Structure 1
Amino acid sequence: MDSEIIIEDDNDDNDDNDDNDDNDDNDDNDDNDDNDDNDNNHEESIPTTPVLKSNENKNVKAASNTCEKKKKKGVFNLQWLLDSQLGSFLREYKPDSTKALCIACNEKFSIHYGGKNDIDRHIKLKRHIHNMKSFSINRQLITSTMKPNKESEEVAAAEGTFVYHGVKHGHSYSSQQCTTNVIKTIFSSCSAIGKSMSCGRTKCSSIALNVLAPYFTQQILIEVKEACFFSIMFDASNKGNSKLFPVCVQYFSKFGVKKGIIDLIDDADESATNTFENLEAAIKKSGLSLEGLTSIGA
């Protein structure tokens, strides 16, 4: 009796162990399945976040590029004049840097949106091609008939010196015209140069704007580039219906601290964004580096 009872207990224990082992195996399999599911879910979720971020970055870059294109402002580039084809007829329109002047057609046109493409488009116009033919012939006739004369060069030098003196001391063009008449009266009998001088208001203005101003502006820019560092000062002033922004530069040269005007901007818009764009365009047009700008004043 006792031995039979013992045998039955052993069988029950074995059955219980088998059941436990089966349960453990099932639990392990369930855990493995859960882990596999988690791994699969993790692997599937990994690429979604970078894709979304990359798409967002592309959208941000596209929007920023669009804004930059809208803010970009086409201005006249002095490097265009170095081209022999463009330099023969193209000139800078100083009252508005977003326009160019064609002396063959005697008209100004906008380069605000296309830049050099607008110039190429103007060259292909029929009226420009027709005007260039007569312009080239007239230019050859003028240069072939004009011969240098020592006396005329001396008169030109005297007139340039006279206008420079008047501008330096703030004399009006009307007063310079009156002074020229006095000089001609006094020195007509003893000086051929004094007798030949003629500086009316229009001529004084042309000498100051087209001869003296470009030369001294170029000299200032050469000295600023040698100094490397500079500061910019500007302020708005009203002249009739025009809003003018003179751009003044200050730098340290071998003669000490110097100041000079490098540009005069005519723009009625006084917003901060437009003022910044005008200053940036003036600095780039002058060939200066923004890295050398140390301060801005008004």
Structure 2
Amino acid sequence: MGKPKRLCRFTPELRNKYSFLKEINGSDSELLCGKCKRTFNISHGGGYDIERHIQSIKHKSADLAVSSSKPLTTYYKSSAPSSRDLEIAAAEGAWAYHTVSENQSFRSHDCFSKLTQACFEPKFHCARTKCGQIVTNVFAPYAIDILTNQLKNANCISILTDASNHGNIKLFPLLVRLFDPLYGIQIKILNVESQPGETSDIIINYIVKTIDDNNIRNKVAAFCGDNTNCNFGGVSRRGTNNVFHKLQGKLGKQLIGVGCAAHIIHNAIQTAADCLPIDIECIIVKIYSFFYIYTVRVEELKDFCMFVEIEYKAILGYSKTRWLSLMPSVERILKLFPALKSYFLSQDKVPLILKTFFSNPCAELWLNFIHSQAATFHQHVLNIEGQNILAVEVFNEIKQLKNNLMHKKQNKFIPLSVRTLIRQLEHDGLVQESDILTVIENFYSTSEQYLTSWTYHFEELEIMECITLKKVPNWSEIEKVAEFISNKGFFNPNNDTALFDQFMLTLQYVTQEKIDEWNLEKKPTDQRWVCIFKYFKEKDIQCDKMIIIVEYVLCLPGSNASTERVFSHITKIWTKEKTQLNVSTLKALLITKLNFDYTCLEFYDLLKKNSFLLKKIVSKDKY
């Protein structure tokens, strides 16, 4: 029998030569490769076995991967950032903010970052991944931190929400409105989530969870949403299976329920227009759809415009969900009416409803009437759509509109352009003025009744008009507001003496001259109170009780237009090209875009002074 062969082992020489190999299992011949993670034995071949392993396909692939890549940590700065690093971080952050402000894609930064490196700053690095992380993990959390502090200091807030679909995703932005004594009314996005449906239970669970997550349960004073059955249970608000009723039950207190007044006014003229002998909405839509994609028809209409010496302008569309589209659409048709009438009456193949309309001698009369009425409604909707309008100011707008309609009916008002057409048609024996007047009076009555039935919940806010500072308030007015707020649980009636003292000090500042000055400047209500509270702070005058009263009134929104604006931003941000966008990123984009009120240059200046944000941008923690 031959002598047994001596076993090879991993000698110190081999260990120095092949530093990526390690002994395992306590054996000096069983090795683990640190590159390809394979184990092998060298007891029979020693160094030869190692070389054979190195030549294997798996090891070569691992070797290639290691040589062509670096660990992510190699890109992180191991030392504290220098002043130059912070300057570059400010530029990177400003461009990330600019990307959000202008609704650009993060993908565009791949090209932009390289171009900036080549043209200006070689150390500038802000491609799509970094840009996205700066927005989602630096700016959005910072904006939420600011909002959290504002909510902590606030006494009263309002909750606003609505739903909108993006494909098969139902999005629910949740906004809060509050009054900051030093800055005015603040409307911020608190949360954006997708929900599986739009039932009252789903919505209420979402709202209550967000409220509790932010510890603001005791501060909610009002709920604002669209005038749907799901939100308020119909016009009478007597149902129990709606968000408003359930939210009051969950929070254990009475809330102010604010429907969207802009929708109500728009729906009022829609309802009243149905009383007219001509379906104006249908005619507008039909005329628009007849021309909007047909070049030949448009060119023919241009010829008719030239013949009757009218400047051609494109027909405007109309949608029931677009509050301000009725008046411009009717106005455009009136300007082109002679050309449109000649065109449709001269054509054989046109919709019968349009041929019938333009054959009607009263067609222009009713267009002029609805245009004159739409102008009145249009202006009130514009006023109500204001971002910072108060609920009590909306009440005044609605009250003015109702009074306007009532006076028109009482005085049998007919617009001059309509009266001129009535005289012509009556002279030709085509109409009777009394018949036209009956229809017009019915229009006024219907719109007034609609407004009354849908806006009665604003009436309890009438006592708050003194807070608008359109005139010098008196104590009896403030006392009524304090009593109202006390019944809602936001003011301690035992503090009425302190409130009286602080109100008397307020009157030292709010003189008739100051009111006249503010009225001349058309200074918003919230900024009037900001002037007062800033002055009190400078003079170290206590005004905490007065602030509670003002906060409550000014936190009440007049409409849900703020939420509708969020949907407009979502449409611009989440385009069909941005298929990789998800709800969490969308939330960060919206919070960054809407919760910060800075221009790009102002935000750049803010970044340069904010070392906390700059270090966050430089840090690896944002990934």
What range describes the TM-score normalised by the shorter chain of this pair? 0.3 to 0.5
Between Structure 1 and Structure 2, which shows a larger proportion of strand residues?
Answer: 1
| Larger Rg, first or second structure (1 or 2) | 1
